[in-house]
Amino acid sequence: MRLPLHNYNYQSDARLVADLLANNEQAVQYLLYEQYNPLLKHNAQKAAGGKPVEYDDLVQELYLYLSANNWDKLRRYDARQPFVNWFSVVSYRFFKDFSRSMIDSGQQMPISSMNDQPESSPDDAMTMTGTILMDIRAALAKLWPPRDRQVLEALLLHDETPEDVASRYNISVDNLYNIKRRTLAKLAQLLIAYK
């Protein structure tokens, strides 16, 4: 049973982790079915080779994995990195390993039947792509400070070399990679907020 989540929002990764460790049902629902739902669906589908998957079945398996041994896996989370980064890696590895174990045992990942999927057309795909691009552009515009956004755009959108970008901003290449890592983490959090 899913609980209502009216005004249930986490202002910090530390609070979310603490509530999960305390077995707070709203925190679990928030993690698996609300805030990180698009990320989990993407990771599960990617691990299944791009096929649509039975999301609820896989999320139950992920929950059992995370909560095993008194949330042992979650207790290993290092708060120096954004929770979304850690959770993305952990969930993708779990879905990939789960997929391999299913194949090794002669089974398949729980795949959605085609009847469960709405009819889609190339226009739907174009609309979805356009919407995603608008979300990314809006999130990019919110990145602060502007230099960090400009560094990310130069590296990812304009395919400039790290050396050229570092020289333009009078920073070392190592510092450039630190800026890129931090800015990508900020961008990921903004995109999740757009869900």
Distance in angstroms (rounded) separating the CA atoms of residues 26 and 30: 6
* Res 9: pLDDT: 62
- The answer to whether 154 and 167 are in contact (CB under 8 A) is no
* Residue 130 C-beta-side C-alpha neighbours within 13 Å: 6
Per-residue pLDDT of the chain (195 residues; tens, 9 = 90+): 444 444 456 668 888 899 999 989 888 888 888 888 888 888 888 888 777 778 788 888 899 999 999 899 899 888 888 888 888 888 888 988 888 887 777 776 666 554 444 444 444 444 445 455 566 777 788 888 889 989 988 888 778 899 999 999 999 999 999 999 999 888 888 777 655
pLDDT, residue 192, reads: 76
Domains of the chain, earliest start first = 13-114 (1.10.1740), 121-194 (1.10.10.10)
Q: What is the pLDDT of residue 38?
A: 85
Q: What is the pLDDT of residue 188?
A: 84
- Residue 85's closest CA among 11, 177, 194, 189? 189
- Taking the alpha carbons at both ends of the chain, their separation in whole angstroms is 22
